[in-house]
Amino acid sequence: MGSGSSGFNISDTRARLEKWCLEHFAWPVGVEFSQWPAASSESVRRLLELHWQEHGVPVLVERNGVLEPAPRCFESPCPVAGVALAVLEIYWFELTRREREEIAWLQQAAGRFSLSERESEALIERARAMSKGFVSRAVETETNGRPALVLANAIARHLKEGGFSYGEVAEFMGASAEATRKRCLGADRRSLSTFAEA
């Protein structure tokens, strides 16, 4: 997905965020590779999701048959959490938009194709189940066809809360520091937060 009407390029922003993650967070200590070996967006997103969970409700995990506290991050502000939430915000934005399109298609298909009643009901049920999933607030609050503007505001706020300066946030987003400051001061439409923010 490219530029939206918001003036920032979603794909480029995600790439810069993922690059930062690989350079500042996800590089294993003592690794012998000269560069990250074939890191995919999905792998980076999963690493960031795991770090985000370190800011969540304390939980116990089983290791070798013993329950122990899961790793926690108490850094505040936490740049990794800011980047994690920004990347996850983009992920859920894109997923929600695709699911909305699929839901509309399923509903249309159920009425237009020569399907048995059972097949038609199965399509409608799938659409219902999908519509109950997590919804990106940027897509949910789609007003005047400008969901990317809401997404840009959410990303800027996550990064600012992660401790980045307006200039650094602007660099991630390919924007000016002034545009970034305005995004951070706009209405809060973030879909995600850390446990401390909730």
pLDDT tens, 121-172?
777 777 777 666 666 666 666 555 566 778 888 899 999 989 999 999 999 9
pTM of the model: 0.71
pLDDT digits (tens, 9 = 90+) for 61-112: 888 999 988 888 888 888 988 898 899 888 888 887 787 777 777 777 766 7
Q: Binning pLDDT at 50, 70 and 90, where does residue 31 land?
A: very low
- At residue 173, the pLDDT reads 92
d(CA 184, CA 17): 17
Higher-confidence residue of 180 and 35: namely 180
Max alpha carbon distance in the chain (Å)?
60
Going by C-beta distance under 8 Å and a sequence separation of 6 or more, which residues neighbour residue 194?
52, 55, 56, 78, 81, 85
Domain ranges (residues) in the chain: 10-27+38-185
Mean pLDDT along residues 8-20: 88
Q: Is omega for the bond preceding 77 within 30 degrees of 0, making it cis?
A: yes
Q: SS3 for 88? A: helix
**Average confidence (pLDDT) over 8-22:** 87
Task: Kindly report the number of other CB atoms within 10 A of residue 124's CB atom.
Answer: 16
pLDDT reported for residue 29: 46
Q: Give 139 or 38, the one with higher predicted confidence.
A: 139
Q: How many CB atoms lie within 10 A of CB 125?
A: 12
Res. 198: pLDDT tops 50: no
User: Taking the CB of residue 144, how many other CB atoms lie within 10 A of it?
Assistant: 7
Whether the pLDDT of residue 33 is over 90: the answer is no
Q: Which one has a higher pLDDT value, 13 or 95?
A: 13
